[in-house]
């Protein structure tokens, strides 16, 4: 039996875990709120940090609320459900401001997160794991699956789709199902360690495209043809929008409204730009609306060949002056064509854009817009920009993952 200890949660850190100090050790405990007086049981040390399970709430924090989801304590997805939505917004803003505090000046414009409306949902991308013909989510730091009737973070369409999938016979070796809801339909991706079965014909569901992915591969195969073309509708001004085609192998932000807020802010910060460089460009999610809104010329680069192909196809279909190429942006690559941009956009994966930021003088941009899904990586990249002489002009945290311990960081830099 693990020893039961007492403590008080000092604060909740990025990721959503609460901190208790015990004998010079920092212990991370999920499902807690700053100010909670608790009992807890040590579990193990993961990634160099001690972790524990919450046993009992002795005295709840004044900021603690009843979690709206019945499996919040078991599911590893939404770490902040025990906080009021206003507390969540303030906390996520604080995480970002604290991480960037050394770069903030009196001239830096900071836009805090606005709390989402009560009962807000809208996550449009999900991966369910299969257990006994039921779909659910994995427990935190575990392969155990927690079945659920609904997820408060998902769109109503995805919650309905889940019930539809459970009611049909999927192949027995399907381990997980991904779904991506877009403006005109939904990609459904069945994931299995086996090749696509020849005898499986999925049930017809309106506005859906079925795919099969062998878990040893990163690419999908259509389960029915002709494959539907699905798109994300993005506004580039108050009256007009463009449709960006999104395939099953393309990355798309998990929250449609959050993605629109991200793009609208980038357009507002880029007014007057005529030449834009977009590194880690994906399928053109950020820079194609910019090309349309400003009439700017865009040159992008990306590591994923499928995304490069999709970005160029989108640019051609929309008749935009945008070209994308495949480059290893974490290694050495020729920078000549990227020199002297009015706006340089950096939207790297979780580990950040360390090499590019350390060599930013080779690019000579007038302004830089960085987008980070990891605060620590964002702060490391920011430090490199400051060393190169750039100043933080504006900082905006965005809550693209409601209820979770994640926050997106959008920052504007200038010489």
Could you give the residue numbers annotated as active site? 373
Cα dihedral sign, 301-307-309-313: negative
How many angstroms separate the CA atoms of 223 and 412, rounded? Answer: 43
What phi-psi label fits residue 389: left (phi over 0), alpha (psi between -120 and 50 degrees) or beta? left
In 10 A of CB 23, how many CB atoms?
6
Q: Which of 414, 411, 355, 415 is nearest to 378 (CA)?
A: 411
Question: Which residue pairs, CB below 8 angstroms and at least 24 apart, start in 185-190?
Answer: 185/209, 185/228, 185/230, 186/157, 186/158, 186/161, 186/230, 187/211, 187/230, 187/246, 187/247, 187/248, 188/161, 189/213, 189/220, 189/248, 190/223
Q: How far is CA 169 from CA 132, 164, 196, 227, in A?
A: 11, 10, 15, 22
Degrees, nearest 5: CA angle 24-30-34: 70
Helices (H), 106-237: 156-166
Hunting for tokens 């010079």 — which residue is that?
24
Pull the structure tokens for residue 5: 């200890």
Query: Comparing C-alpha atoms, which of 362, 361, 363, 354 is closest to residue 383?
Result: 354
Helices then strands, counting H and E runs in the chain, come out as: 7, 22
- Beta-sheet pairing, 176-182 with 145-147: unpaired
Please, are residues 375 and 399 in contact by the beta-carbon 8 Å criterion?
no
379: left (phi over 0), alpha (psi -120 to 50) or beta: alpha
Residues facing residue 322 across a β-bridge:
298
């Amino acid at each position: 039996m693990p020893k039961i200890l007492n403590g008080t949660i000092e604060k909740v850190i990025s990721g959503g875990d609460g901190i208790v100090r015990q004998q010079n050790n920092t212990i991370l405990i999920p499902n807690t709120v700053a100010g909670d007086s608790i009992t807890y049981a040590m579990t193990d040390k993961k990634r160099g940090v001690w972790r524990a399970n919450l046993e009992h709430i002795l005295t709840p924090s004044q900021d603690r609320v009843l979690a709206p989801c019945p499996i919040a304590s078991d599911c590893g997805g939404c770490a902040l459900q025990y906080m009021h939505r206003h507390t969540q917004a303030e906390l996520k803003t604080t995480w970002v401001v604290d991480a960037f505090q050394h770069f903030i000046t009196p001239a830096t414009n900071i836009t805090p997160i606005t709390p989402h409306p009560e009962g807000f949902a809208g996550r449009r991308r999900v991966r369910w794991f299969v257990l006994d013909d039921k779909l659910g989510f994995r427990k935190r730091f575990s392969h155990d699956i927690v079945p659920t009737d609904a997820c408060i973070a998902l769109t109503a369409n995805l919650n309905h789709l889940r019930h539809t999938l459970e009611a049909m016979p999927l192949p027995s070796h399907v381990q997980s199902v991904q779904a991506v809801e877009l403006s005109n339909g939904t990609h459904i991706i069945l994931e299995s360690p086996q090749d696509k079965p020849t005898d499986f014909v999925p049930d017809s569901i309106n506005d859906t495209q079925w795919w099969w992915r062998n878990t040893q591969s990163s690419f999908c195969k259509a389960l029915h043809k002709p494959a539907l073309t699905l798109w994300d509708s993005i506004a580039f001004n108050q009256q007009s929008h463009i449709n960006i085609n999104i395939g099953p192998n393309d990355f798309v932000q998990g929250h449609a409204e959050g993605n629109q807020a991200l793009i609208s802010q980038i357009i507002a910060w880029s007014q007057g730009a005529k030449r834009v460089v977009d590194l880690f460009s994906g399928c053109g999610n950020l820079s194609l609306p910019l090309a349309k809104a400003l009439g700017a010329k865009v040159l992008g680069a990306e590591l994923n060949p499928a995304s490069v192909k999709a970005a160029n196809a989108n640019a051609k279909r929309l008749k935009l002056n945008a070209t994308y190429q495949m480059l290893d942006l974490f290694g050495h690559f020729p920078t000549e064509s990227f020199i002297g941009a009015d706006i340089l956009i950096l939207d790297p994966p979780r580990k950040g854009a360390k090499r590019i930021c350390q060599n930013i003088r080779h690019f000579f941009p007038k302004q830089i817009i960085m987008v980070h899904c990891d605060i620590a990586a964002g702060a490391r990249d920011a430090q490199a920009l400051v060393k190169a002489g750039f100043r933080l002009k504006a900082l905006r945290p965005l809550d693209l993952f409601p209820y979770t311990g994640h926050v997106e960081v959008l920052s504007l830099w200038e010489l």
